Amino acid sequence: MKFSFFAALLLLSVQPLFALDPAPAPAFEVTDAWLANIANRAPENPLVAPKQKRTILIFSRMTGFKHWCTPHTANVVKILGEKSGAYRTVISDDLRHFEPENIKQYDVIVLNNTCSIGPGRHLFYDVLGDREQAKALENSLISHIKEGHGLVAIHGAIVAFNNSEQFSEMMGGSFDFHPAQQIVTGKLVDPDHPITSAFDGEPLVHVDEPYLFNKAYLDYNFHPLLRMQLEPDAPKDKRIKNLATEKDSVERYISWIKPYGKGRVFYSSPSHNAQSFEQPELLQFLLNGIQYAAGDLECDDTPLKQMSKK
């Protein structure tokens, strides 16, 4: 298994890791040294050559919970494009980018930890205070993806429009809750899939918030990439029960892809902590997912509910 440096430190703790309440990964500011470290670990080349020049928007506006790793994540996505040549980036939190006449310039929209305020859970309304304008921008985003472009959502980004059925359908689910941070293992659903090939057959092991999902998630209208596994002897407050439906129990996936209209969606719950991005395998995985969303990486994205019928 491949561990981040932070995970390795935890395992070297004098006391047993899972007998304690492990502290969250320590927050730190973005530094030139950290950026250089990420650039050194990032892949030299994309998995496939871009079919054309790609431009992506990295949008990190937060009105709800402020994830400390948000600026780190934005820089990671930028570095992946710069080093590999897979795409160029525009980083902006200006909502005008989502207006129909502006959004069309972007091949991929990256929503980076765009948490909204509860209980309303609508990021654009939080900023604008006007429901009609906010819904118009949400519709513009949804239409843009459906017409043939890409959406990448990282970690808390799934909360952006958490009460919107349309957004949930497009994303493949909505945020439900998460237990406390702990060691999370992302098991590869298909080690031979082009996107998960980044991990060379080994699981992703890191410290994260174990995200759980509801609404459209239960439709299984996505192609799973990583399945969550938690330690069975974790403290009681860090355990989760298998969410039961009338027919069966729910598998806990933390990353997936899905077609949406003519477009493509890539969701990655990893990670709440910037330390996770120090794993070269996770960097390659994110780049692969972005290339899928851009339409450059062609791969099996058959929804799970259809796969089960085969």
Q: How far is CA 281 from CA 46, 71, 247, 308, in A?
A: 13, 20, 36, 29
How many domains are there within the chain?
1
What is the pLDDT averaged over residues 162-186? 93
Average pLDDT in the chain: 88
For residue 271, cis peptide bond before it (omega within 30 degrees of 0): yes
What is the pLDDT averaged over residues 45-63? 98
Q: At what angle do helices 70-84 and 280-294 cross, to 10 degrees?
A: 70
CB atoms within 10 A of CB 93: 14
Interatomic CA distance for residues 285 and 273, integer angstroms: 16
292: CATH: 3.40.50.880
Pick from 57-61, 123-127, 176-180: least confident: 176-180
Tell me the pLDDT tens digit for each residue of 224-256.
999 998 866 555 555 555 443 333 456 899 999
Q: Of all helices (H) and strands (E), which one includes residue 288?
A: helix 280-294
258: amino acid identity, one letter: K
Q: At what angle do helices 280-294 and 32-41 cross, to 10 degrees?
A: 70
Residue 38 belongs to what domain range?
A: 2-307
* Share of residues in the chain with pLDDT > 90 (%): 77
More confident residue, 54 or 306: 54
List of residues 6+ apart from 208 with CB closer than 8 A: 181, 182, 184, 269, 270, 271, 272, 273, 276
CB atoms within 10 A of CB 65: 12
What is the pLDDT averaged over residues 7-36? 62
Residue 187 scores a pLDDT above 70: yes
Q: Can you give the pTM of this predicted structure? A: 0.88
